[in-house]
């Protein structure tokens, strides 16, 4: 049995010959496994004399430890080599494109609409969306534009063919101002309302679209003045265009406001010096506004001697076109994906 | 409204540069859309006297002239014109000059004509851009021959009347009083703080006459005021040069002195007038009435119209003589031998004139003016002005026969008594938010023609008759601030307002989330018109009784292609897909959330219901399939914690084998599928298109308002795969339902593979599901492998029993 104790040499040679850790494992089993040679030595202890057993046992254990030590060293070497090989095999071209989930985008009109809503929500405006089909009353009459009023010619209105059994003639709203009345009929001051939505005018040429979006703002409270209107619009111009933007009021006419103003914003492209965008004037016409006409307040049951207010309305497409430099309004309804893709967040 | 600078200067002493006046007008509410200098194209043209005329040595048709151009010296000009002669004063374009030429500008240089030097060119009227109304003789065939007393070497522009600016001014709808030269002059005077000369310095002298006229207005609502006046001893002839030139500046041709006066008054005062030849007015009678059905009239331009009862007519004792407010009749036209005239200045209801003008397709300067609105003071101003001009021009004698129709209604409508507004300076300040000095307020209003009585804190204001738009103190505030200057407004931020709570409604937030969800799924938001073409409905093969056909029609669409309101959104999406594919965008995903309309909804409005319904539409095209689109709808369901279920469905426009109706619980909320291949072929679409449309409003009612948290179970989840062979007709939904029904511990059964192969047999498929077993959070013990085995056996048995499925 003593000769069997010389297994270290054999085990070392075989282990050294192992090409990878799997082969090494096989060698390990051959010597140290349940049926391995070293284990067999231990098992053979019962065949030797009892007095010789401790010494023999000691030798076998020493042998096992020596083999284990050798194996461990070899294993470490093999593992290191294998890792290197694995890493070499997993080398990638880091310049290849990344994998992405393709995102879509919201329409530029929605983007601007959302920005405006966020901006005015912060100032205490609630959002109200009125119907797109309106009655003459809400779209015109209540807004101080009775049937024979010259202002009706200002907007080319789409009228609807009457359905059977329908009494009132209906139209596509020409302005989101119609929503003002619906709000004021139900809600009493203080009122701060923002009314976005589609509006329709019978107009179709290079710069006009028969359908576009407006955003109407209305404030009714005690002691509201024209100065407040400009103060709020200054804030709007700064947030929507640039920190240095300014507004300019000039007289205009809308039947539902008195005084009425056209509001220009200093041209963000040239900073007011004059360029092709602002046609050399330094100003860009952005919205219409004014102090709510007393008759409109009366029509809604609001006492004009107690309350006053202002209203403003802007074309969302116009703001979007100015903001993004879109040069043709038709692009906004063509839905070409190459156009829409550019508004990804 | 056009405003020639020279004409304005007749009433206001103004001398600032035209550009500066443009700014002033802009600041007070009159945007100058176009400012044109008439002499822009004519430069370097001077007057010269022909001092010698000799035949060209080498050309029979050319003449060599010596021309005395005063300070510019004597020049040699070679001309082909035949109307030049020694002693004639003519316009000479010298070296470097520019003139008008065939719609463009021509530069003149010294050059040689057949070997003889010409130091410029003689000009015709056309080359100066003028006609006979600017300068008599401008339209002759040849060179313009100037008056004998014309100075030499002078700039031609002031001489022929083109040293002038034309302001093209946008007048807002509330200011019909400014649709006239005099009205605009009043604004200019006010903004420049200058005086305004009266329209007529002296009034005409009316002579007595035996002629009597009567006016009867049968439609007082359509004709609130009719003023007529008889003029005798009329001498028809040419108008003086100054008057013809002014008409020419406004783009009108001179006709004769009488017609010119009516046109001139329309421009200067803003009141349309008409002149009848008195001898054709039977019975010296004017009757204003509506036409009888089928009644006919021939207007001045020799067009005959067949009328309807809503057309208003001016008639004499026997027959119609004018289409009220639109055009006079041919039968009473002013002719060369006219010797008596009856002038008309009236107010006609703008709506009536508009309707007549539109329905007959007959427009005129008069009808255009009436459509903007004419106030009751205008006829009086106009008649006085016209009669004064008659006298001044010496072409007729005004008489004391002035008749007024419908005076009663004048009183009834309170038209002619000025409005009075009682207010305070504070009220005006409170609208503006600034304090305007009292003197400024008074001065501004007075310059605009208001009568102001300063009562300390209060003021009493008499509104001029031409300002019917002025109603109360806010109007006065506007008058004040537009003249005082908007730059005085100092921005404040709602100093007195109550703090309010703002933001979107829950429904608006939800819609925003829906959009964001689809954005994350790779969809682009589209925006389409709310109307489409009836042809779109045909393309979608909808039968006559289909609800989508119940579309609301526009009464006045832009075109048939945009004539009906959308009843569903898919047609717009299909158009978008087609357009994209044609543009080479072979892959795409779009969605839109928008309203649809139908007559059913319109009727609901009368019952207090809604007028519109919100839909959401999705569209994909390219290499994707049905399930790619379905995935997006599932994502939408996940976002709002609702489960959509799908059943095989049918639509005439979708692939019969690839259409599903979409439900939430028992409620059908939409449909999805592949575009019918026949439609795809009709559109020559090379890519498959998938469409889905949901009733967003109905679906969103089922949407979870917020996220609900469930406690986690204590024990781990266990997954097992199950593959079963079934007949082709068995659907995934049936398998799923059968599995879930068999065992409560199965929380999810997800299909992950479908396999077909020969060894499975004809019309068979293998479906592999991943089953997830999970305990409720209350369970005290985890599931043992034995329990799972038991569940599994039960599931297999159930599948076998119900769907004849064999474990694979």
> Taking a C-beta distance cutoff of 8 angstroms, is the pair B686, B620 a contact?
no
The DSSP H or E segment spanning A221 is strand A211-221
- The string of pLDDT tens digits covering residues B425-455 is 999 999 999 999 999 999 999 999 999 999 9
Q: How sure is the predictor about B408, in pLDDT bands with cuts at 50, 70 and 90?
A: low
CA distance B316 to A237: 62
Predicted pLDDT of residue A3: 57
Chain B residues touching residue A154 (CB < 8 angstroms): 173
Query: From start to end of B633-730, where are the E strands?
Result: 644-648, 654-664, 667-675, 688-695, 718-727
In whole angstroms, what is the distance from residue B77 CA to residue B108 CA?
Answer: 12
Instruction: Give the model confidence (pLDDT) of A274-331 as tens digits.
Output: 888 888 889 999 999 999 999 999 998 999 999 999 999 999 999 999 999 898 999 9
Of B28, B496, B553, the CB nearest to A223: B496
**Which region among A53-62, A325-334, B192-201 has the lowest average model confidence (pLDDT)?**
A53-62
Question: What pLDDT shows up at residue A207?
Answer: 82
Query: Which residue from B257, A323, B381 is spatially nearest to A332, judged by alpha carbons?
Result: A323
pLDDT (tens digit per residue) in B692-741: 999 999 999 888 878 888 888 888 889 999 999 999 999 999 999 999 99
With contacts defined as CB-CB under 8 Å, which chain B residues touch A110?
515, 525, 527
Instruction: Name chain A contacts of B631, Cβ cutoff 8 Å.
Output: none
Least confident range of A205-209, B284-288, B617-621, B624-628 = A205-209
Nearest to B403 by CA among B226, B234, B263: B226
Q: What is the pTM of this model?
A: 0.84
Among chain B residues, CA nearest to A310? B431
Interface residue of B32, B170, B503, B582 to substitute, partner A, most A CBs within 10 Å: B503
Nearest to B233 by CA among B207, B259, B212, B214: B207
Q: B491 to chain A: which residues are within 8 Å by CB?
A: 227, 230-231, 233-234, 247
Q: Test B29 with A293 for CB contact under 8 angstroms.
A: no
Q: What is the ipTM of this complex?
A: 0.85
For residue B174, list chain A residues with Cβ-Cβ distance below 8 A.
Answer: 150-151, 253, 255
DSSP assignments along A85-109, one per residue: HHHHHT---TTSPPP-PPP-B--HH
The CA R_g of chain B, rounded to the nearest whole Å, is 41
What is the model's pLDDT at position B414?
47
CA B597 to chain centre: 25
Across residues B749-757, what is the average pLDDT?
A: 92
Are A156 and B554 in contact by the 8 Å Cβ rule? The answer is no
Q: Which of A192, A212, A227, A342 to mutate to test the interface with B (most CBs of B within 10 A)?
A: A227
Q: Report the distance separating Cα B304 and Cα B751, nearest Å.
A: 79
Mind telling me how many Å the CA of B225 is from chain A's nearest CA?
17
Q: How far does the CA of residue B30 sit from the closest CA of chain A (Å)?
A: 8
Determine which of A259, A304, A308 to mutate to test the interface with B (most B C-beta atoms within 10 Å).
Answer: A259
**Å between A301 CA and nearest CA of chain B:** 18
- pLDDT above 70 (res B409): no
CB B465 within 8 A of CB B375: yes
How confident is the model at residue B629, as a pLDDT? 95
Name, in order, each residue with C-beta under 8 angstroms of B277's C-beta and a sequence gap of 6 or more: B332, B333, B334, B335, B338, B340, B341, B342
Gap from B134 CA to chain A (nearest CA, Å): 33
Q: In terms of DSSP bridges, do strands B304-306 and B296-298 run parallel, antiparallel, or are they unpaired?
A: antiparallel
| pLDDT surpassing 80 at residue A221 | yes
Sign of dihedral through CA atoms B14, B20, B21, B27?
Answer: negative
Read off the tokens for B263. Answer: 């046109």
Contacts of B798 (CB under 8 A, 6+ apart): B738, B739, B741, B742
Distances (CA, A) of B394 to B235, B339, B390, B397, B572: 8, 13, 6, 8, 69
Beta-carbon separation of B576 and A335 below 8 A: yes
Band of residue A147 on the pLDDT scale cut at 50, 70, 90: confident
Q: What are the phi and psi torsion angles at A252 (to 5°)? A: -150, -165
Contact (CB, 8 A) for B633 and B645: no
**Helix (H/G/I), strand (E/B), else coil: B296:** strand
Candidates B490, B493, B603; nearest CB to A163: B603
Q: Nearest to residue A179, comparing CAs of A160, A154, A198?
A: A198
Query: What does each C-alpha distance from A193 to A182, A196, A296, A311, B591 come to in angstroms?
Result: 11, 10, 15, 9, 28
Strands B688-695 and A170-172: unpaired
- Per-residue pLDDT band for A31 (boundaries 50, 70, 90) equals confident
CA distance A220 to A308: 6
Q: What are phi and psi of A222, to 5 degrees?
A: -85, 140
Concatenating the DSSP letter of every residue in B498-559 gives: PP---B--HHHHHHHHHHHHHHHTTPEEP---SEE-HHHHHHTT--TT-GGG-PPBBSS-SS
Q: Is the pLDDT of residue B486 over 70?
A: yes
Q: What is the mean pLDDT of chain B?
A: 92
Nearest CA in chain A to B607: A166
Per the CB < 8 Å rule, is B434 touching A114? no
The whole-number pLDDT of residue B607 equals: 46
**Helical H segments across chain A, by residue range:** 7-17, 21-32, 37-43, 53-89, 108-121, 136-139, 178-186, 226-240, 294-299, 316-324, 331-334, 337-340
Q: How confident is the model at residue B496 (pLDDT cuts 50, 70, 90)?
A: confident
What pLDDT is recorded for position B605? 57
Q: What would the DSSP string read from start to end of B169-226?
A: EE--TT-GGGSSHHHHHHHHHHHHT-----S-SS---PBP-S---EEEES-TTT-SEE
């Amino acid at each position: 049995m003593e000769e069997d104790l010389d297994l270290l040499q054999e085990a070392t040679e075989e282990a050294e010959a192992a090409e990878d850790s799997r082969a090494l494992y096989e060698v390990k089993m051959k010597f140290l496994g349940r049926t391995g040679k070293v284990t067999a030595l231990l098992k053979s202890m019962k065949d030797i004399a009892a007095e010789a057993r401790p010494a023999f046992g000691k030798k076998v254990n020493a042998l096992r430890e020596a083999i284990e030590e050798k194996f461990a060293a070899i294993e470490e070497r093999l593992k290191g080599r294998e890792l290197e090989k694995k890493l070499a095999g997993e080398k990638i071209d880091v310049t290849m494109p990344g994998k992405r989930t393709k995102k879509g985008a919201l329409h530029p009109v929605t983007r601007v609409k959302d920005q405006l809503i966020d901006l005015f929500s912060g100032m205490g405006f609630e959002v109200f969306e009125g119907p797109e089909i309106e009655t003459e009353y809400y779209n015109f009459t209540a807004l101080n534009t009775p049937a024979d009023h010259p202002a009706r010619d200002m907007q080319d209105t789409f009228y609807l063919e009457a359905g059977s059994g329908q009494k009132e003639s209906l139209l596509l709203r020409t302005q989101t101002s119609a929503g003002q009345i619906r709000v004021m009929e139900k809600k009493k001051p203080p009122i701060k309302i923002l009314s976005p939505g589609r509006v329709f005018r019978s107009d179709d040429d290079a710069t006009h679209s028969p359908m576009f979006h407006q955003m109407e703002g209305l404030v009714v409270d005690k002691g509201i003045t024209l100065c407040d209107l400009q103060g709020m619009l200054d804030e709007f111009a700064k947030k929507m265009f640039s920190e240095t933007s300014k507004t300019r009021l000039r007289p205009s006419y809308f039947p539902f406001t008195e005084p009425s103003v056209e509001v220009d914003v200093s041209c963000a492209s040239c900073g007011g010096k004059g360029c092709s965008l602002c046609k050399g004037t330094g100003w860009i016409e952005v919205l219409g506004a004014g102090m709510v006409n007393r008759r409109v307040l009366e029509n809604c049951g609001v006492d004009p001697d107690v309350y006053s207010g202002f209203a403003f309305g802007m074309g969302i497409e116009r703001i979007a076109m100015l903001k993004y430099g879109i040069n043709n309004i038709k692009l906004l309804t063509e839905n070409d994906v190459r156009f829409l893709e550019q508004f990804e967040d | 409204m056009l405003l020639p600078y020279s004409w304005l200067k007749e009433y206001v002493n103004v001398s600032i540069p035209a550009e500066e006046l443009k700014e002033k007008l802009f600041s007070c509410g009159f945007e100058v859309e176009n400012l044109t200098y008439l002499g822009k194209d004519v430069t370097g043209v001077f007057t010269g006297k022909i001092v010698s005329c000799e035949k060209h040595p080498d050309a029979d048709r050319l003449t060599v002239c010596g021309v005395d151009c005063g300070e510019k010296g004597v020049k040699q000009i070679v001309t082909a014109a035949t109307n030049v002669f020694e002693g004639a004063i003519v316009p000479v374009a010298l070296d470097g000059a520019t003139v008008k030429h065939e719609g463009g500008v021509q530069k003149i240089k010294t050059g040689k004509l057949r070997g003889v030097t010409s130091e410029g060119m003689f000009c015709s009227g056309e080359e100066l851009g003028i006609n006979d109304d600017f300068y008599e003789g401008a339209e002759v065939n040849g060179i313009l021959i100037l008056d004998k007393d014309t100075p030499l070497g002078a700039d031609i522009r002031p001489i022929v009347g083109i040293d002038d600016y034309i302001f093209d001014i946008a007048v807002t709808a509330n200011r019909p009083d400014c649709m006239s030269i005099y009205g605009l002059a009043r604004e200019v005077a006010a903004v420049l703080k200058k005086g305004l000369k009266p329209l007529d310095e002296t009034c005409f002298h009316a002579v007595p006459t035996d002629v009597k006229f009567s006016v009867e207005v049968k439609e007082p609502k359509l004709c609130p005021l009719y003023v007529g006046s008889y003029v005798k001893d009329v001498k028809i002839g040419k108008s003086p040069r100054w008057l013809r030139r002014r008409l020419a500046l406004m783009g009108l041709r001179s006709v004769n002195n009488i017609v010119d006066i009516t046109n001139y008054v329309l421009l200067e005062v803003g009141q349309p007038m008409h002149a009848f030849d008195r001898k054709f007015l039977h019975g010296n009678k004017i009757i204003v009435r509506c036409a009888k059905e089928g009644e006919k009239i021939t207007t001045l331009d020799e067009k005959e119209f067949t009328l309807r009862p809503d057309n208003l007519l001016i008639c004499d004792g026997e027959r119609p003589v004018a289409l009220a407010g639109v055009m006079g009749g041919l039968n009473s036209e002013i002719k060369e031998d006219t010797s008596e005239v009856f002038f008309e200045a009236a107010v006609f209801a703008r709506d009536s004139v508009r309707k007549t003008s539109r329905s007959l397709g007959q427009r005129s300067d008069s009808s255009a003016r009436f459509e903007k609105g004419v106030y009751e003071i205008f006829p009086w101003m106009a008649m006085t002005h016209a009669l004064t001009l008659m006298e001044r021009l010496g072409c007729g004698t005004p008489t004391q026969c002035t008749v007024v129709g419908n005076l009663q209604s004048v009183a009834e409508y309170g038209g002619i008594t000025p409005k009075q507004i009682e207010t305070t300076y504070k009220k005006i300040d409170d609208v503006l938010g600034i304090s305007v000095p009292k003197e400024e307020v008074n001065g501004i209003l007075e310059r605009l023609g208001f009568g102001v009585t300063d009562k300390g804190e209060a003021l009493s204001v008499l509104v001029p008759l031409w300002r019917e738009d002025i109603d109360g103190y806010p109007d006065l505030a506007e008058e004040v601030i537009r003249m005082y200057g908007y730059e005085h407004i100092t921005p404040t931020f709602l100093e007195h307002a109550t703090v309010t709570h703002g933001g979107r409604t829950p429904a608006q937030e939800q819609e925003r989330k829906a959009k964001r969800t689809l954005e994350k799924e790779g969809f682009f938001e589209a925006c389409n018109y709310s109307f489409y073409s009836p042809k779109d409905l045909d393309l979608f093969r909808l039968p006559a009784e289909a609800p989508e056909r119940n579309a609301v029609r526009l009464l006045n669409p832009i075109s048939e292609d945009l004539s009906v309101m959308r009843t569903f959104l898919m047609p717009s999406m299909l158009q978008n897909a087609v357009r994209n594919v044609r543009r080479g965008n072979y892959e795409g995903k779009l969605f839109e959330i928008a309203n649809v309309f139908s007559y059913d909804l319109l009727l609901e409005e009368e019952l207090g219901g809604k007028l519109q319904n919100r839909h959401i539409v999705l569209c994909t095209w390219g290499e994707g399939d049905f399930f790619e689109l379905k995935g997006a709808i599932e994502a939408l369901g996940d976002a709002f914690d609702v489960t959509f279920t799908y059943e095989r469905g049918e639509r005439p426009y979708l692939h019969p084998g690839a259409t599903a109706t979409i439900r939430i619980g028992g409620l059908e909320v939409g449909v999805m599928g592949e575009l019918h291949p026949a439609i795809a072929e009709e559109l020559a679409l090379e890519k498959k298109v998938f469409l889905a449309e949901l009733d967003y409003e109905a679906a969103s009612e089922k949407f979870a308002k917020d996220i609900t948290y469930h406690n986690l179970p204590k024990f781990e989840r266990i997954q097992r795969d199950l593959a079963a062979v079934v007949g082709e007709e068995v659907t995934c939904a049936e398998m799923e339902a059968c599995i879930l029904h068999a065992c409560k511990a199965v929380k999810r059964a997800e299909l992950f593979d479908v396999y077909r192969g020969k060894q499975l047999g004809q019309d068979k498929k293998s479906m592999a599901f991943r089953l997830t077993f999970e305990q409720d959070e209350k369970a005290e013990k985890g599931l043992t492998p034995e329990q799972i085995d038991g569940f599994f056996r039960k599931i297999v048995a159930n599948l076998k029993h119900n769907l004849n499925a064999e474990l694979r």
